[in-house]
Amino acid sequence: MNANTALRGRIALVTGATSGIGRAIAKNLAAQGANVVLHGRDQRRGEALAREIAAEGGDARFIAADLSDAESTLRLADEAGAVDILVNSAGLYEFAPTPVSDAASFDRQVAVNTRAPFLLVGALAPAMAARGQGVIVIVGSSAARMPAPIGAAYGASKAGAEVLTRYWATEFGPSGVRVNTVSPGPVHTEGTKAMLGEHTAMLDKTNARGRAGDPGEIADIVSFLVSDASAYVNGAVLFADGGELSALPS
Ligand SMILES: NC(=O)c1ccc[n+]([C@@H]2O[C@H](COP(=O)([O-])OP(=O)(O)OC[C@H]3O[C@@H](n4cnc5c(N)ncnc54)[C@H](OP(=O)(O)O)[C@@H]3O)[C@@H](O)[C@H]2O)c1
C-alpha cells in the first residue's frame, strides 16, 4: 500500500517508460498514487514494469507504440484516453558528425523527440484544457543549448521541444494546463550504456558536480513539475545537468 497519495486519482501517461529516465519517472509517479499508463516499444519490459508497480501497491498498464510513426503515436493517445499528466520521456540520441548523419537519422530523431510530443499534446491537451487542469512535462536535453562536435541533429530535435514548451505554456496556460521541460545533462541509463559500453565513466567528467546524473534525480524534478508546489511554473526549462565546467579536466 502506498503511503504517499499526492497523485491519487490522477492518470499519468509516461512515454519511454520501458527504460532509463522514463522508467524512473513512471515508478516515482506510481509510488505517489497515480494511475500510470506506461509506454514504450518493448512489450516484455513494459508489462514487467506494470507487474513490478502492481507488486509495490501501485497501478499501471502498458501500451506499445512506435513514436517514429505518426499513426502509431495518435493511437497511443487514443488508447491512453483522458490523462491528467503527460510526461514525454521517450527519445533517442544518435550522436554522429553532421557529414555522416543521413536524412533517415535526422528524421527519426525529430519524429520521436519533437514530433511525437507535438502529436500527443495536440491529442491530449484539449481535454485537459476543457477540465481546466493538466500538467505536461517534456524531457529535453542540455544538448539543446550546449553545442558539441557531434550530435547536431539530436540537439536540434531537443531545441525544438524547448520552443514547443514555451508555445504550449502560452497556448494552454490560460486554460489551467502547465507545460514545462526538464533538461538533463548526461544521466547513466540503459540508453547511454548501449551507446558508450565500457566508456560510460566519461559521462562523469562532463559537469561541475563530477558525476553524471541518476534517473531517479530526473524523476524527482518531474515529480516537482507535476505537483502543486510548481503551480506558478509554466513554460520553464529547468536544467538538471550538474552545472557547467569552464574547461574540461585534463
Ligand atoms: N541519458 C542521458 O544522458 C540523457 C540526457 C539528456 C536527455 N535525455 C533524454 O531523456 C530521455 C530518456 O533517455 P534515456 O537515456 O533514459 O534513454 P533509454 O534508456 O534509451 O530509453 C529510451 C526510451 O525511449 C523509448 N523509445 C525510443 N525510441 C522510441 C520509438 N521510436 N518509439 C517509442 N519509444 C521509443 C524506448 O522504448 P523501448 O526501449 O521500449 O524501445 C525507451 O523507453 C530521452 O528523451 C533522452 O533524449 C537523456
Q: Give pLDDT tens digits for 181-234.
A: 999 999 999 999 999 999 999 999 989 999 999 999 999 999 999 999 999 999
| pLDDT at site 124 | 98
C-alpha cell of residue 32: 505517489
Supply the pLDDT for residue 3: 77
State residue 244's pLDDT score: 86
pLDDT attached to residue 1? 47
Quick one: pLDDT at residue 122? 98
Give the C-alpha separation, 53 to 198, whole Å.
30
* pLDDT at 181 (0 to 100): 98
| Contact in structure between 39 and 90 (CB atoms under 8 Å) | yes
Rg for the chain, CA atoms, rounded: 17
Domain positions in the chain are: 11-240
Per-residue pLDDT, 72: 98
Q: Is 250 exposed, middle or buried (0-12, 13-18, 19+ CB in 10 A)?
A: exposed
Q: What residues does ligand 1 touch, defined as CB less than 6 Å away?
A: 16, 18-22, 40-42, 45, 66-68, 89-93, 112, 139, 141, 184, 186-187, 189-192
CA 20 / ligand 1 centre spacing (Å): 7
- Give, for 24, the enclosing helix (H) or strand (E): helix 20-31
CATH code given to domain 11-240: 3.40.50.720
Residues of the chain with pLDDT under 70: 1-2, 247-250
Cα 13 to middle of ligand 1, angstroms? 15
Residue nearest to atom 23 of ligand 1 (CA): 16
**The three cell numbers locating residue 42:** 518493448
Q: How many CB atoms lie within 10 A of CB 54?
A: 13
Cα–Cα distance measured from residue 248 to residue 208, given in angstroms and rounded to the nearest whole number: 9
- In this prediction, residue 249 carries a pLDDT of 55
- Look at the block and give the residue holding cell 540508453: 191
Report how far Cα 127 is from the mean position of its chain's Cα atoms. Answer: 21
- Is 154 annotated in the active site? yes
Report how far Cα 20 is from the mean position of its chain's Cα atoms. 10
For a mutational test of ligand 1's pocket, the pick from 14, 23, 89, i.e. the residue with the most ligand atoms closer than 8 A to its C-beta, is 89
Length of the chain in terms of residues written: 250
Q: How far is the CA of 235 from the centre of ligand 1 (A)?
A: 22
